[in-house]
């Protein structure tokens, strides 16, 4: 009887430990770098929640953010592999760049883009969270991307 109690207690501890570790792995650290490659900022990016505006069987709404005078729309998010970034407005002299990182911070894509809609193919990447960085000259905006 004592052995069975210890086994059940052990299994409960293993379950609770796994649950706790899963809960801890819901944030990641994002770093920003200057043109010379020096780290200039660090921030915590929460990865634990799905977008509040997305309900079951409903199409996701594009995420829209301002980057200076530019408007950036990212859609669909979550995605199954095809992602679009629409950039409008702003000054044409700034170089526009889109950089995609995985949850470990490894750079997966880095492209110079023009205003308008740019497709990003994520179909080769596993189901996970990603960070999409949009840069216009020295200005930067980051988006959390969910791939299902």
Question: Which domains, from first to last, does the chain contain?
Answer: 1-48 (no CATH), 53-148 (2.60.40.3080)
Share of the chain above pLDDT 90, in %: 52
- By the 8 A CB rule, do 131 and 55 touch? no
Distance CA 122, CA 91 (A): 29
Instruction: Check residue 38 and give its pLDDT.
Output: 72
Greater confidence (62 vs 123) lies with: 123
- By the 8 A CB rule, do 100 and 109 touch? yes
Instruction: Give Cα 3 to chain centroid, integer Å.
Output: 46
Instruction: Check residue 14 and give its pLDDT.
Output: 39
Identify the band that residue 59 occupies on the pLDDT scale cut at 50, 70 and 90: low
Identify the band that residue 62 occupies on the pLDDT scale cut at 50, 70 and 90: confident
pTM of the model: 0.61
Among 96, 95, 94, 143, which Cα is nearest to 122's? Answer: 143
Instruction: Check residue 56 and give its pLDDT.
Output: 54
Distance CA 75, CA 122 (A): 13
- Predicted confidence (pLDDT) at residue 87 exceeds the cutoff of 60: yes
Instruction: Check residue 93 and give its pLDDT.
Output: 86
Separate counts of helices (H) and strands (E) for the chain: 1, 10
Q: What is the pLDDT of residues 7-57, one digit of tens each?
A: 444 444 434 444 444 444 455 566 666 666 676 766 665 655 444 444 555
């Amino acid at each position: 009887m004592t052995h069975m109690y210890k086994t059940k207690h052990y299994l409960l501890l293993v379950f609770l430990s796994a649950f706790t570790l899963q809960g801890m792995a819901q944030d990641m650290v994002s770093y920003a770098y200057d043109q010379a490659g020096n780290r200039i900022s660090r921030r915590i990016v929460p990865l634990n929640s799905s977008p509040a505006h997305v309900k079951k069987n409903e199409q996701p709404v594009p995420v829209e953010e301002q980057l200076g005078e530019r408007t950036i729309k990212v859609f669909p998010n979550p995605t199954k592999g095809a992602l679009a970034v629409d950039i409008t407005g702003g000054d044409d002299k700034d170089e526009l760049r889109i950089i995609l990182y995985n949850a470990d911070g490894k750079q997966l894509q880095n492209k110079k883009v023009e205003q308008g809609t740019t497709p990003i193919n994520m179909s080769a990447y596993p189901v996970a969270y990603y960070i999409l960085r949009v840069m216009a000259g020295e200005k930067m905006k980051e988006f959390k991307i969910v791939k299902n």
